[in-house]
């Protein structure tokens, strides 16, 4: 039974996702949370992870640790994205199992699903077709993690569950224009353009692709729900079940930031997949759904960005 003094290890507790989970569990009254920085514990190191489990003896493990990056990083370092993610999650899953950890929550990404899977994406589409080539190395590692948790669940009847979130954004996000995802990148671009006399903002593509976005605190809430409930299946999509065009996203961010200049769409740049939406019927049936409106989440994220501008180098437009 999970209670407020259950010893819970959150792997990756300093990242955007891990820190949101940490805040959520603290707010809910959990008093026995464990976290280690990558300097304190290299999760790729099998011996180090083994020693950690022997010493700390966590009762629950939440895996929010991974090597992540954009298309360029995935393309340039395929071996590292495959191998390091396999090492991290295999060490955590295996030593959790060997240490009799009864509840393990594995976090992945919607990129585990085939590139041309029908929309919205359902859990049963996993492994039915080929992956998106630009991030297949990361996706293959995450699929292996999902299957490892499923195998332990089936063979040993332990409560190991995998949650696959859609595109995430929120506080503690990455706002580096070279490596960030579309929503934080837009916040940064519109903010810098506003500061530069409302200069025009150039965005990639046509603006027509549709995307779904989930506020990271909602994912943390879903993790808390999975922690406190024994879910009947091994794999759940976590999202809003709603999408919008990139053009509509840009207009919303422009309004929230207060940028008054022009938006220029560079149609010579690729649009990517026309639509990427998660089917969230299974997690809704289990009893959870997202509750943060996109504009509300963008407001919160932009305010956090403003309060933490010293972390980011100014962009010269």
DSSP string spanning 60-76? EEEE-------HHHHHH
On whether both 153 and 199 belong to a single domain, the answer is: no
| Total of domains in the chain | 2
Whether the Cβ atoms of residue 272 and residue 230 lie closer than 8 Å to each other: no
Q: Does residue 316 fall inside a structural domain?
A: no
On whether both 206 and 73 belong to a single domain, the answer is: no
Q: Does residue 197 fall inside a structural domain?
A: yes
pLDDT in tens, 235-288: 999 999 999 999 999 999 999 999 999 999 999 988 878 889 999 999 999 999
Instruction: Using the predicted structure, report yes or no on whether residue 22 has a pLDDT greater than 90.
Output: yes
Instruction: Using the predicted structure, report yes or no on whether residue 233 has a pLDDT greater than 90.
Output: yes
Which structural domain, as residue segments, surrounds residue 194? 182-210+243-275+293-310
Q: Does residue 199 fall inside a structural domain?
A: yes
Count CB-CB contacts under 10 A for residue 211: 20
Instruction: Using the predicted structure, report yes or no on whether residue 234 has a pLDDT greater than 90.
Output: yes
Could you list the beta-strand ranges (E) of the chain: 8-11, 33-34, 60-63, 103-107, 159-165, 167-169, 201-204, 210-211, 213-215, 235-238, 244-245, 263-266, 275-276
Binding-site residue ranges: 12-18, 107-110, 142, 165-168, 181, 189, 204, 211, 271
Binding-site residue ranges for substrate: 189, 204, 211, 271
Q: Does residue 99 fall inside a structural domain?
A: yes
Among 97-101, 227-231, 234-238, 308-312, the minimum mean pLDDT is found in 308-312
pLDDT in tens, 25-52: 999 999 999 999 999 999 999 999 999 9
Instruction: Using the predicted structure, report yes or no on whether residue 76 has a pLDDT greater than 90.
Output: no
> How big is the chain, counted in residues?
317
Instruction: Using the predicted structure, report yes or no on whether residue 317 has a pLDDT greater than 50.
Output: no
On whether both 57 and 188 belong to a single domain, the answer is: no
138 noted as active-site residue: yes
On whether both 198 and 81 belong to a single domain, the answer is: no
Mean pLDDT across 289-302: 98
Instruction: Determine the pLDDT at residue 314.
Output: 59
Is the full-model pTM beyond 0.85?
A: yes
**Which residue has tokens 């063979």?**
155
pLDDT in tens, 177-203: 877 889 999 999 999 999 999 999 999
On whether both 109 and 197 belong to a single domain, the answer is: no
CATH assignment at residue 268 = 3.90.25.10
Out of 9, 30, 113, 138, which one is annotated catalytic? 138
Q: Output the six-digit token pair for 175.
A: 């706002």
> Any idea what DSSP says for residue 163?
E
Whether the Cβ atoms of residue 24 and residue 32 lie closer than 8 Å to each other: no
Q: Does residue 153 fall inside a structural domain?
A: yes
CATH assignment at residue 37 = 3.40.50.720
Q: Does residue 174 fall inside a structural domain?
A: no
Whether the Cβ atoms of residue 82 and residue 141 lie closer than 8 Å to each other: yes
Instruction: Determine the pLDDT at residue 313.
Output: 65
């Amino acid at each position: 039974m999970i209670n407020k003094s259950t010893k819970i290890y959150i792997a990756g507790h300093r990242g955007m996702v891990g820190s949101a989970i940490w805040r959520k569990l603290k707010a809910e009254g959990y008093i026995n949370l464990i976290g280690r920085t990558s300097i304190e514990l290299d999760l790729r190191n099998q011996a180090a992870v083994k020693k950690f489990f022997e010493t700390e003896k966590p009762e629950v493990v939440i895996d929010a640790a991974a090597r992540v990056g954009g298309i360029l990083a995935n393309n340039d370092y395929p071996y590292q994205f495959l191998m390091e993610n396999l090492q991290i999650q295999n060490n955590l899953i295996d030593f959790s199992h060997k240490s009799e950890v009864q509840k393990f929550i594995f976090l992945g990404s919607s990129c585990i699903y085939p590139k041309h899977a029908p929309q919205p994406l359902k859990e049963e589409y996993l492994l039915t077709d080929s992956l998106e080539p630009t991030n297949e190395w990361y996706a293959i590692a995450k699929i292996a993690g999902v299957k490892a948790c499923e195998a332990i669940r089936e063979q040993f009847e332990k409560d190991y569950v995998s949650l696959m979130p859609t595109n995430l954004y929120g506080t503690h996000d990455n706002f580096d224009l070279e490596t960030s995802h579309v929503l934080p990148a837009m916040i940064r671009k519109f903010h810098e353009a506003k500061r530069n006399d409302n200069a025009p903002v150039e965005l990639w593509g046509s603006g027509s692709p549709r995307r779904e976005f989930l506020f990271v605190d909602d994912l943390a809430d879903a993790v808390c729900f999975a922690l406190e409930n024994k879910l009947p299946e091994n794999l759940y999509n976590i999202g809003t079940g709603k999408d919008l065009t990139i053009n509509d996203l840009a207009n919303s961010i422009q309004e929230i930031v207060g940028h008054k200049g022009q938006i220029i769409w560079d149609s010579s740049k690729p649009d990517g997949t026309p639509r990427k939406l998660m089917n969230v019927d299974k997690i809704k049936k289990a009893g959870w759904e997202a509750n943060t409106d996109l504009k509300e989440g963008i407001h919160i994220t932009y305010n956090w960005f403003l309060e933490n501008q010293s972390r980011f180098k100014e962009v010269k437009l």
